[in-house]
Amino acid sequence: MATRYWIVSLPVQSSASFQWSRLQESISKRSFDTPVYRFNIPDLRVGTLDSLLALSDDLAKSNAFIEGVSHKIRRQIEELERASGVEGGALTVDGVPVDSYLTRFVWDEAKYPTMSPLREIVDSIHVLVAKIEDDMKVRAAEYNNIRGQLNAINRKQSGSLAVRDLSDLVKPEDIITSEHLVTLLAVVPKYSQKDWLSSYETLTTYVVKLLLFYIFIIDIREFEYSPEAQESRKQELEKLLQDQENMRSSLLQWCHASYGEVFSAWMHFCAVRVFAESILRYGLPPSFLAAVLAPPAKSEKKVRSILEEFGGNINSAFWKSEDEVSLAGMGGEAEAYPYVSFTINIV
């Protein structure tokens, strides 16, 4: 599956079907390793030129936001799948693989009525994606809170003996408590073990104990053995582990569903963006051919040359001189070619 696609729009002089046939033929002859697909955009509501120009100024910023949320959810899915130790399946949108949804895009009239103003469609997409991003932050924070608690417990159980929990190391028979005796637990470095064994019986006063502390780096731990407390900690750990697994599974399921929703919204946004930029570039009435291409890196220059031939040669020399430059009033971050072009990175 390709991970980088171009969505382009080419001016149509006669008919879109004829232009599509010409494009397919040119690509197959001169860059056979480049898949090309028709990107079907319905007849959307044009509105006024001023409204299109105002919308165009916001399109690039909105696209960066929506694309960013899409990638955040994908990364969260990958992290959760790694945590579970299982290899995840391919991401889907409405039950089909992501690349298939993009290359066989069909406008959802029920969700985004074509008679709605373009600004209204774009705003509804932005609101939807923003809500999903906010939900993900809350859900991820809850999951990370559980992980943080477990990490803290693990640090206590795997840290040095000077700080870690001793409940799982000390047995009941190790503790002797009577009217005249109390058990103290001493943490002694291995390199001081011999000195400790030969001298600990002489530790009769507090002063001597402090002296030996500095010499042998001995740590006297306060410890009270409690079977009830040990059982309580064990149950707490088991509950946290179960909560983490339940939350991980729930978050993963939510992320898969939300990724599909965001990606679908993103592709509808791209359709609006291509439509608006095509009107601004080629004029009215709308007459353009939209397509999706996935050229290998080694073929990109060749494919750009082919597409330029379909660009109508409008100010071709100017566009060449401004290659890879953003142009104000043409989508902000729209790639500068003699035709409309946007790059979509799905990973």
Q: Which of 99-113, 208-222, 316-330 has the lowest mean pLDDT?
A: 316-330
- Residue found by looking up tokens 């500068």 in the block: 336
- Mean pLDDT computed over 298-310: 94
- The half-sphere exposure of 50 on its side-chain side, counting CA atoms within 13 A, is 0
Q: Residue 187: pLDDT band by 50, 70, 90 thresholds?
A: confident
Kindly state the tokens that stand for 172. Answer: 């009941």
Say if residue 174's pLDDT is above 90. no
Say which residue, 52 or 334, is predicted with more confidence: 52
Contacts of 87 (CB under 8 A, 6+ apart): 81
- What is the pTM (predicted TM-score) of this model? 0.77
- Mean pLDDT computed over 239-267: 93
The SS3 assignment for 189 reads: coil
What pLDDT shows up at residue 181?
66
What pLDDT shows up at residue 180?
61
Cβ atoms of 20 and 305 within 8 Å: the answer is no
What pLDDT shows up at residue 147?
87
What pLDDT shows up at residue 208?
40
| DSSP assignment letter at 312 | T
- Mean pLDDT computed over 294-308: 94
Tell how strand 36-38 and strand 288-293 pair up: antiparallel
Q: Residue 240: pLDDT band by 50, 70, 90 thresholds?
A: confident
Q: What is the mean pLDDT of the chain?
A: 82
Q: Which of 24-33, 54-63, 167-176, 194-203 has the lowest mean pLDDT?
A: 167-176
Contacts of 269 (CB under 8 A, 6+ apart): 62, 63, 66, 122, 125
Say if residue 194's pLDDT is above 50. yes
Q: Residue 326: pLDDT band by 50, 70, 90 thresholds?
A: very low
Per-position DSSP letters for 28-93, written without gaps between them: HHH-TT--EEE----------HHHHHHHHHHHHHHHHHHHHHHHHHHHHHHHHHHHHTS-----EE
**H or E element, residue 221:** strand 219-221
What pLDDT shows up at residue 275?
96
The SS3 assignment for 341 reads: strand
Say if residue 214's pLDDT is above 70. no
d(CA 249, CA 255): 10
Say which residue, 212 or 274, is predicted with more confidence: 274
- Mean pLDDT computed over 67-79: 96
Cis preceding-peptide flag for 11 (omega within 30 of 0): no
The SS3 assignment for 104 reads: coil
d(CA 75, CA 153): 26
